[in-house]
Structure 1
């Protein structure tokens, strides 16, 4: 899965689950300050990413995620360990 494909899927997740306009979901966008996610949304996002990758996300790793770009990197890391 390419970075662009991951970003497209993340945009779908944000739109479907958090009603966020996909145009706002850019790699530079800050999850909490710009996209207004809260801690419960972050847990929901982690669950959706686990469903997307089929891999479990370690909570201590996901705590470091701050931007959409960080989410993309986390998904790429999960997909690499899966291969």
Structure 2
């Protein structure tokens, strides 16, 4: 899957599930703040991404995730492993 497809699929999911405007999502925006994520939201996000992309995410994967770009890169890297 190409990076553009990954980003599009993630963004579509975030707009639908977290009721965020597409215009609020940018590569430099803070993921947690933009989506107003709490710990349960992170669980929902992880489960949805794992089922959508067929990958496994761990808690430590999110340690250095601040921006949407960081998140996209994480998913891209996991898909290539």
TM-score (norm. length: structure 2)? 0.85
Does 1:41 pair with 2:41? yes
CA contact (8 A) 2:25 2:34 kept: no
Q: Name the structure where helix makes up a greater proportion of residues.
A: 2
CA contact (8 A) 1:25 1:68 kept: yes
- Separation (CA, whole Å) in 2 of partners of 1:78 and 1:39: 22
Give the aligned length.
81
Q: Which moved more, 1:9-18 or 1:34-43?
A: 34-43
- Return 5+ residue gaps in structure 2 as ranges: none
SS at match of 1:32: helix
CA contact (8 A) 1:29 1:35 kept: no
- Separation (CA, whole Å) in 1 of partners of 2:35 and 2:7: 15
CA-based RMSD of the aligned residues comes to 1.4
Q: How does 1:1-83 map to 2 (within 5 A)?
A: 1-81=1-81
TM-score (norm. length: structure 1)? 0.83
- Return 5+ residue gaps in structure 1 as ranges: none
Larger RCO of the pair (alpha carbons < 8 Å, separation 6+)? 2
